[in-house]
Structures are given as structure tokens and as C-alpha cells.
Amino acid sequence: MSELDFLCGEITRRYGNITRARGAFLYTEKNVRLTDLYQENGKAILGWGGNSAFTMLKNVLNRGITGRYDTAFNGRIQKAVSDLLGDRRITYLFQEKKSALDSALSICPENTSIYRPWIQGAPNWSGIDCVLICPPLPWGTDCYIAAFKDTAENGALLSKAQESFRTARFPAPLCAAISRSIYNLIKALQERSEKDWFIYDKSLTPYWERKGPYLYIKKEIIPEEKYKDFICHCLDNSVVINPYYDQASIVPFEADRGVFSSLVKNPFIGEKK
């Protein structure tokens, strides 16, 4: 059983199926609202519902172009990524992170980075030869974008190597949603900042170290062998956390601080003193 299977099974066992999602919240068959700190491992960092990204998906879906042909929406992804990173990029889509990373390293072995919004100490993204991006689209299927700097050297290397890339073709509605989600991220980067994350520190820092919106488990407090117990404890207090021990949970943007009141009142008994 994978970590994600474990989390999903524990949610269903307690609260039934998820019936809808909005913002930072999941709603269940048993009429319990769960505060989501997992956020599809960051793909829902802008919130569940997708907002205008899913409006774009529906609009293109209605046109009937649901195949994997070349459409204008493929080019829009490249334009959106270029706008996000601040320079011209050549983009390729992948269904797996490993395939994207392997392809990136085959062209830019010395200067490839993985993009994370609001990460502290972020590099100058426009100076990175290849940036891997997982679009902030709350969609279950993975999509990774390898964004290479549009230079003559990279262009020549890509022309020789691209046939060996395990690239993917996505249907036009999903490409439209991906491009819109990136523009939504560009807008959110101007609107969200430290003031939106630190307000939850009193509730969260007993168990996590926060860096921007990202929450890293304090391993001296919650050792790995106790982590599944901690996941279940959080679920009992209506909080969903990242099921992967070494990956970050995420602060729930615009959630009321009271969503953690039960967790505060019922501290995890497995913590070390």
C-alpha cells in the first residue's frame, strides 16, 4: 500500500467519500469539512476548484477537440511558462517527474532546478537553463513541464535528443487549463506573501518547521515510525497532511485559524518531549 493509498483509505474509513472540494477544504459524505494541507502535493496550492483554469477546460471541452492533436493551447503553455520565468522558453510535457528530470539533465546537467512558488532562497529562475514545473492545477493526473532556455545551443541539443524524450501529449482542454493555471499562479505570486502564512504558526509549529507556505515535519518531534499515527491523529482532528514523510505539507491559504483548534486542544501524544 502506498502512502497516498493509506491516506485516502483512512479518510474514507472515517468520513466516507469526498463529495466536493473548494479552496483549502474537502467535504465528505458524513458532512465533515477537512482542512487540506496535502493539496495534491502542491498541485492544489491555489485552491481546489481550479477557478478560471477549469472554466477554460470546460470551454474548450465544449468545442469537441478532446484529442491529442496540436492546437493553439500547446503554444499557450510555452508562452505562460516564459512569462512565469521571465525569459523565452522551449517547453516539453511529461506524464512522469522522472522522465521530465532525466530529459532535463540530458540537456542541462549542470543547471536544472525544480520550480516551487514562494520557496525561500529561490534562484533567479530566468538564469536557470532548465526549470521543471508542475502546474498548479488541482487535477489527479500528473503533468510536468521541462522549460529549456530558448538559446541556439539548447535548440541544437534538443533537436538531436528530443526523439529519445518520453514526452506526452495532453488533450486540448487540459492544455488550456494548464496554461490558465500558470497565469493564475503569476497573479497569486503578486498577492500572497509571508503575512498570509505566519498567522497559523502558533498552531502548526509544534510539529512543523515552516518555510514560506511549506511545512516540513520536525523529525525530532515526529519520528518516521510514528508518522502514520500522526497522519491519523490529524485526520481525527479534521486535518489532512502530506502522507509522505519527507515531503512538505502546505499552509491552507485563507482558511480561518480556528480550523486548527481541535488539533491544538488535542496534541499528538506520540510526540517527544
Q: pTM for the whole thing?
A: 0.92
DSSP letter for 261, please: H
pLDDT one-digit tens code per residue, 153-174: 888 888 887 777 888 899 999 9
**CA pair distance 246, 222, nearest whole angstrom:** 12
Residue 109 has pLDDT above 50, yes or no: yes
The model's confidence at residue 150, banded by pLDDT at 50, 70 and 90, is very high
The model's confidence at residue 104, banded by pLDDT at 50, 70 and 90, is very high
Q: What is the CA radius of gyration of the chain?
A: 20
The model's confidence at residue 71, banded by pLDDT at 50, 70 and 90, is confident
SS3 12: helix
User: Which of 171, 188, 184 lies closest to 71 in space, CA to CA?
Assistant: 171
Residue 271 has pLDDT above 60, yes or no: no
DSSP assignment of 210-226 equals EETTEEEE-TTTS-GGG
Chain mean pLDDT for the chain: 94
pLDDT, residue 167, reads: 87
pLDDT one-digit tens code per residue, 176-197: 999 999 999 999 999 999 999 9
Q: Taking residues 212-222, what's their average pLDDT?
A: 97
The model's confidence at residue 270, banded by pLDDT at 50, 70 and 90, is low
Q: Taking residues 133-144, what's their average pLDDT?
A: 93
Residue 147 has pLDDT above 70, yes or no: yes
Q: How far apart are the first and last CA of the chain?
A: 31
**Side chain identity at residue 49, one-letter code:** G
Tell me how crowded residue 121 is: count the other CB atoms within 10 A of its CB: 6
Residue 152: its H or E element: helix 152-161
Residues 207/222, Cβ–Cβ less than 8 Å: yes
**CA pair distance 225, 147, nearest whole angstrom:** 38
pLDDT, residue 62, reads: 94
Could you tell me the sign of the dihedral formed by the alpha carbons of 54, 57, 61, 63, in that order?
positive
Grid cell at residue 66: 478532446
Strands 130-133 and 112-114: parallel
User: Which of 42, 264, 19 lies closest to 144 in space, CA to CA?
Assistant: 42
Residues 146/103, Cβ–Cβ less than 8 Å: yes
pLDDT, residue 49, reads: 85
Angle, alpha carbons 114-230-1 (nearest 5°): 70
Residue 86 has pLDDT above 60, yes or no: yes
Q: Taking residues 141-152, what's their average pLDDT?
A: 94
The mean-pLDDT minimum among 43-57, 81-95, 219-233 falls in: 43-57
pLDDT one-digit tens code per residue, 240-252: 999 999 999 999 9
Residue 273 has pLDDT above 50, yes or no: no
